[in-house]
Structure 1
Amino acid sequence: MPLKRRGPLQLVQGEVDEVKRRVESLEKNVKSSSGSKEEAFHRCQELRASAEKTLKTLQKLTKADELAPVGNYDQRKLEEERRLQNILERLVTLSLELSPPGPSTQAGNVSKGDTDNNSDDDNSDDFEEDINSDGKDDGDGRTSEKPPSQSAPQIYTVLSDFKAEQEGDLSVQRGEVLKIIKKTADGWWLAQDAKGNRGVVPKTFLKIGPGVDVEHDEDDEDEEEEDDDDDEDEEDDELQQSEQEEEEDEDQTDDGNKSKASNWSTVRKALTEIDTTDVLSAMGAIPSGFRPSTLSKLLAEEGERYRGSHYIQPQLSQSQLSFKDLFLDPDTGKVRARQVRICVCFSLWSCKMIPTPGVGVQVLSRHIRLCAFDGTQVLSNIHTVRASYTSKSPKTWSFSPRMTSILPTVLDGDCFLRCNSLSPDIGILFELGVTFLRNSTGERGDLSCGWAFLKLADDSGNPIPHRTYELPVNGGTPYEKDVMLEAPLSRRSPGGVFQHMLHARRQPKLIVKLKSTNSRTRTQLSLLPDTLLHCLSCFHLLVLHRQLLADTLLMDRPTMQNADIICSPILSTFPVLLDQTDLLDALRSAWLEAETNMSRAQKRDLSYLKQEFSKVYMSSVYFLLRSPSLPSYRWADPPSEEQRARFIYTTLEALKNNQQTTSQSLTPAVFFNSSHSHLAFDIQELTFDLLCVTR
């Protein structure tokens, strides 16, 4: 009977077992001091190269390479990767122990300040004193922390090339492994390389643990290495340019050390932002097509510009003397409807075959950020819808789950978009993202899992039909093209039609349904600002706010040129609700309950609706906003979200019971009740500043 052929994963497992056996044998020889250190060091380097090559081969394997189906393939592959990582850590530690002493005991390999005050003969003594001292350095303000214990050496991998600037720095190259001898508070760490050389390097150039960034198989990946070299050269040029600017600033500053420290903090911050994804990719924690989230970065860096709270404010005309998108109908007293070029309603249905982050990363939120986009710039606010998933099918995202109570806004995939841009390429940009937490460092971040784009007009400029669209999800950023989330078919796998059909079914997709609406909904949407993207279930609240805004700005002001501060707690605080959706849900719940007690005639009476809306707002959301017990809003923070939800529910129930016992709506007396605590009074909670909020 012929022997059964072994698959690629089994072959790699055999190689890992062989490398582990040889490493254990080498460790025994080193402990027993049998043989020379030079020979043991040479064997250690060979084993390390072999382990890195095996790990590189393992990371390239896919399930399609196997000759037969393999159960728990991903789990088995991760286990082998962990085994190889542990072997590499042991080899790096052993290599540093066996490495011959380098020129670190020579002159000038400590701090930059000592080189100016001491002679060449005293530099060696100063270096030994610096290692054993408590870290107080008079030269450049670097204060050291407690050195790492020798039983658990700190092993780091260099993320980018660093060239020594001054005497005492250590030149390192990308992929090199260093042993950290001493950490300092300013970020310049004393390190030792594999050759025994010692010096200081910036901590932002390092990542913890041994890495496999150095390529050993140059023949197979020459093009990738050339691209990496170009990127590194660009980063080095930018780094050198920034360092030259810092040196010029130092010449003009009295305290040069403080100036350099402040400038280096900016460089370190930029390098950290750039290398976060690279570090996670090297760890195998994220797929290759993932990128830092573009839309999350806009929300974080641009402030109010891309938030819904900015777009619901009125927009001034070109003359700055009137409004561009807010008018009253003189016959009815209502906000005048405005037709825009793009007004669509759509539903996020599901996402399929979305890659999942690997080990070492905890996912706090899976979501889609969406906005109007024309291929070059964002044309509306950025709206976020959180996705649901099950552990049985983590690659499938779903939206709008069925709930007994009202569906939270953040989970509602039914949205509308109003946009008046004249761009022929306008459409909806969908960025699939995750908010993650690194288990090792506690670092939070936002990653893009891919993006999709739905163009809302055909080549002739006509609107696309209302139907369900399956949009391909691309990797990279919206400004990158032809970046795949999944690896292409292996060359060794059969290339038949059936195989390609299976491959097509495994491609990531986003399913979106473009739907039509009734005349009443279209009429209500026409009362909203010209540009806005939000949840359909909340548009009636936005319409009431819009009506109050028009009454205050167009009817109650003495003249249209009057720009005095207006006393209106609703107008001054309502925009906050679009950025804190749980408060918007609280207002929606309270208003829904109030509507159930209205008659049909009352629901048709606009003046009555505005009066009741003001009462409901003041007796629910405004009370919550002024409560010091409400935790601060933080995106994708489960403990904070649970505390806020619990507090909002209990407070609204208490206010409701109070109104039922007193048989009247919330009165100002409740704000003076000793049983309720409130934030200190701030005049901004009552004032609506027209000049500051208008766009």
Structure 2
Amino acid sequence: MLDPADELAPVGNYDQCKREEEKRLLTLYERLQSLALHSSQRDQESEEENSDEEDESSEDEDAEEEVQDDDDDDDDDDNADSADEDIGPTAKGQGSVTYIALSAFTGEEEGDLSIQKGEVLRVVSKNKDGWWLAQNSKGQKGLVPKTFLKVRIISQALTDKTSNWNTVRKAVTEIDATDVLSAMGAIPPGFRPSTLSRLLEEGRSYRASHFIQPKLSQSQLSFKDLHMDPDTGKSSRVGLILTLWNCRMIPPPGVGLQVLSRHIRLCAFDGTQVLSNIHTVRATYNSKSPKTWSFSPRMTGMLPCLLDGDCFLRCDSESPDLGILFELGVTYIRNSTGERGDLSCGWAFLKLFDESGAPIALRTQELTVHGGTPFEKDRYPTGVFQQMLLSRKIPKLVVKLKSVKTRSRELLNLLPDTIVGSLSTVHLLATYRQILADALLLDRITMYNADLICSSVLASFPDVLDQPDLMDAFRKSWTESESNLRRSDKRDINVLKQMFVSVYMGSVFPLLYSVEMPAPCWADEEVESQRARIIYSPSQKPSVETLLSSQCSHQAFDITQVTYDLISSAQH
């Protein structure tokens, strides 16, 4: 699995080995293609020879049949019809049935089909008068005498050869990139394509922007998890805070790959399916300790939420196997081709309830990192002695579980029943949910009114939640504004909600729809630098004046930027 002793030796001449491997695969592909073509030609020639021999014998038989009387023809027709109907893929088990023309026939009446000797036809229907409705390769239909046709059976062997060739060709041309990289020594054994990264790329179903939305009740006429204040908030079955400490003994990728990001993705998991959004925390890396990943680095000022190892988790699932899934991953780029990809370096699972159903103790947990994917059965040896011998070499993830303090519990109870995120953003998420509750529970004319709600904050904040750099800019502006508040105002929810709207519209909203702001791209250093220059540039400090200025370009206005549709946004 991920045992460093099992790693393949690095390939020094990577580019040369790659070219040789591609050349070998191409040669194999061409040889297989030529063999398949040669085999099909031989089978076709063999069948044509057999067809010519049978044609000569059929002509003699036809001459004898012409001197027979009409009664004999009728009897023969009945027998021939029954025999022809018996010949088919299911009757003989020899493959698909077609007919070949024994000699040329020129249609004399309307509705006849002219055919050439050796032409392959498909019989649509058989009439007892001896004239069959046939179709040629051009799609033309018409009547032809049955005495001009002979059954042509395509051998099942040829069909099997074609099927086998398609399988071989698929295997040669569609080799998994991970398998190729493993064979070349670019990645260690046990690495797999990232499961959680693939889920994030499929849409918004596993993003925080989806789980922050209100959830409809079973009747679809009310909201299940919207609360006006902390006193009416609901505690989920699981509500805890965890801190990612470090990962040890994680084998680094080999030569030929440049690592763009080392990170952990975590979510609520019940052993079979992902239950929450997928939250990502980026690890810091020191070249002096290449097998150790660290989190929450010490730094002056505000820690970016993407690097913040302090996370919260809420989940209301009743599954006895409920826990937290951690996937260690890297985003890489191949030096030779420029191809990007996401690999899973292993995964760990922390079950939150014991066999009796009681919650586990909130303490530091040292989790074993397994190779492969969470849905595979690969594990390390289960023998106690073997585990003791390998314990120092097996990759480990160290996580600390903490109890929730009173103030944090009040904020968490305002959040959806199921969500995972950075602890540094809890106060902003809770304030947004209270603004959302006001709009959906107080300000609507009736609970049956589903008209669009005019609110730029409600409409666009979920999009900001999926962009960590914009969330950091929002947090920075919020902290600066909050420092000017009186102590009593900091506890006044109405003051905080007004400040939320004011700070958001004056800082983040103009950036969200700026033409100069490049679209976010995960682990792209150039894009991240461009966005940071725009976000934190003093000359381009976002404000409402900037939004209305003729010197700044923004995206074409869309009504969805300022309107909130509760029907399409709510979780069903």
TM-score, length-normalised on structure 2? 0.71
Quote the Cα distance in structure 2 between the aligned partners of 1:328 and 1:561.
19
Quote the Cα distance in structure 2 between the aligned partners of 1:478 and 1:443.
26
Distance change >3 Å, CA 294–CA 252, structure 1 → 2: farther
1:308 aligned partner: 208
Deviation at 1:156, TM superposition (A): 3.6
CA displacement 1:134-179 (0-9 Å, x = unmatched): xxxxxxxxxxxxxxxxxxx9554689999659975899xxxxxxxx
Paired residue for 1:655, among 541, 551, 567? 541
Matches within 5 A, 1:576-595: 576-595=463-482
Quote the Cα distance in structure 1 between the aligned partners of 2:188 and 2:503.
48
2:132 aligned partner: none
Q: Which segments of 5 or more consecutive residues in structure 2 lack a partner in the other structure?
A: 41-135, 140-167
Quote the Cα distance in structure 2 between the aligned partners of 1:548 and 1:634.
30
Paired residue for 1:687, among 552, 563, 567? 563
Q: Highest Rg: 1 or 2? A: 2
Deviation at 1:294, TM superposition (A): 0.8
Deviation at 1:335, TM superposition (A): 7.6
The AA in structure 1 aligned to 2:177 is T
1:196 aligned partner: none
Deviation at 1:310, TM superposition (A): 0.2
CA displacement 1:211-230 (0-9 Å, x = unmatched): xxxxxxxxxxxxxxxxxxxx
CA displacement 1:377-415 (0-9 Å, x = unmatched): 111011111111101111100001112121111111110
Matches within 5 A, 1:495-506: 503-506=390-393
Quote the Cα distance in structure 2 between the aligned partners of 1:396 and 1:432.
12
1:354 aligns with 2:250: yes
Matches within 5 A, 1:183-332: 275-301=176-202, 303-328=203-228
The AA in structure 1 aligned to 2:561 is E
For the Cα contact (< 8 Å) 2:459–2:560, is it kept in 1? Answer: yes
Deviation at 1:504, TM superposition (A): 1.8
In structure 2, the residue corresponding to 1:634 is in which secondary structure?
Answer: coil
Distance change >3 Å, CA 89–CA 165, structure 1 → 2: closer
The AA in structure 1 aligned to 2:249 is M
1:546 aligns with 2:422: no
CA displacement 1:302-330 (0-9 Å, x = unmatched): x111111000000001111101111336x
**What is the aligned residue count?**
445
Quote the Cα distance in structure 1 between the aligned partners of 2:170 and 2:428.
42
In structure 2, the residue corresponding to 1:521 is in which secondary structure?
Answer: helix
Distance change >3 Å, CA 311–CA 159, structure 1 → 2: farther
Paired residue for 1:404, among 278, 281, 300? 300
1:394 aligns with 2:270: no
1:124 aligned partner: none
Paired residue for 1:455, among 346, 351, 371? 351
Paired residue for 1:624, among 511, 531, 556? 511
Quote the Cα distance in structure 1 between the aligned partners of 2:505 and 2:170.
43
In structure 1, the residue corresponding to 2:205 is in which secondary structure?
Answer: helix
In structure 1, the residue corresponding to 2:176 is in which secondary structure?
Answer: helix
Query: What percent identity do the matched residue pairs reach?
Result: 58
Quote the Cα distance in structure 2 between the aligned partners of 1:268 and 1:337.
59
Quote the Cα distance in structure 1 between the aligned partners of 2:173 and 2:420.
33
Root-mean-square deviation (CA), in Å? Answer: 3.5
Paired residue for 1:421, among 303, 306, 317? 317
The AA in structure 1 aligned to 2:220 is Q
Distance change >3 Å, CA 359–CA 414, structure 1 → 2: same
In structure 2, the residue corresponding to 1:572 is in which secondary structure?
Answer: helix
Quote the Cα distance in structure 2 between the aligned partners of 1:424 and 1:613.
39
For the Cα contact (< 8 Å) 1:365–1:386, is it kept in 2? Answer: yes
2:453 aligned partner: 566
For the Cα contact (< 8 Å) 2:464–2:512, is it kept in 1? Answer: no
2:488 aligned partner: 601
In structure 1, the residue corresponding to 2:541 is in which secondary structure?
Answer: helix
1:435 aligns with 2:335: no
Paired residue for 1:671, among 538, 541, 547? 547
In structure 1, the residue corresponding to 2:354 is in which secondary structure?
Answer: coil
For the Cα contact (< 8 Å) 1:326–1:336, is it kept in 2? Answer: no
The AA in structure 1 aligned to 2:452 is I
1:643 aligned partner: 530
Quote the Cα distance in structure 2 between the aligned partners of 1:320 and 1:438.
49
The AA in structure 1 aligned to 2:227 is F
Paired residue for 2:233, among 332, 337, 340? 337
Distance change >3 Å, CA 409–CA 630, structure 1 → 2: same
The AA in structure 1 aligned to 2:312 is F
Quote the Cα distance in structure 2 between the aligned partners of 1:454 and 1:607.
39
For the Cα contact (< 8 Å) 2:259–2:331, is it kept in 1? Answer: yes
In structure 1, the residue corresponding to 2:331 is in which secondary structure?
Answer: strand
For the Cα contact (< 8 Å) 1:372–1:379, is it kept in 2? Answer: yes
1:373 aligned partner: 269
For the Cα contact (< 8 Å) 1:383–1:533, is it kept in 2? Answer: yes
* Higher RCO structure, 1 or 2 (CA under 8 Å, sep 6+): 2
Deviation at 1:356, TM superposition (A): 1.0
TM-score, length-normalised on structure 1? 0.59
Quote the Cα distance in structure 2 between the aligned partners of 1:347 and 1:253.
71
The AA in structure 2 aligned to 1:655 is K
Quote the Cα distance in structure 1 between the aligned partners of 2:517 and 2:337.
28
CA displacement 1:443-489 (0-9 Å, x = unmatched): 111110000000001111111111101000000000112345xxx9x
Matches within 5 A, 1:465-476: 465-476=361-372
For the Cα contact (< 8 Å) 1:433–1:450, is it kept in 2? Answer: yes
For the Cα contact (< 8 Å) 2:365–2:400, is it kept in 1? Answer: yes
Quote the Cα distance in structure 1 between the aligned partners of 2:315 and 2:169.
40
For the Cα contact (< 8 Å) 1:344–1:418, is it kept in 2? Answer: yes
1:176 aligned partner: none
Deviation at 1:82, TM superposition (A): 3.5
In structure 1, the residue corresponding to 2:425 is in which secondary structure?
Answer: helix
Matches within 5 A, 1:125-164: 154-156=23-25, 164=33
CA displacement 1:493-540 (0-9 Å, x = unmatched): xxxx8x985632111000000012321111111111000000001000
2:122 aligned partner: none
Quote the Cα distance in structure 2 between the aligned partners of 1:326 and 1:270.
52
In structure 2, the residue corresponding to 1:400 is in which secondary structure?
Answer: coil
For the Cα contact (< 8 Å) 2:4–2:251, is it kept in 1? Answer: no
Runs of 4+ in structure 1 displaced over 3 angstroms? 61-64, 81-90, 153-171, 251-254, 267-274, 499-503, 653-656
Quote the Cα distance in structure 2 between the aligned partners of 1:273 and 1:400.
41
Matches within 5 A, 1:36-185: 77-78=9-10, 81-82=11-12, 154-156=23-25, 164=33, 168=37
Distance change >3 Å, CA 553–CA 353, structure 1 → 2: same
Deviation at 1:602, TM superposition (A): 1.4
Q: Which segments of 5 or more consecutive residues in structure 1 lack a partner in the other structure?
A: 1-60, 65-73, 93-152, 172-250, 255-266, 489-496, 657-665
CA displacement 1:591-616 (0-9 Å, x = unmatched): 00000010012112221111111110
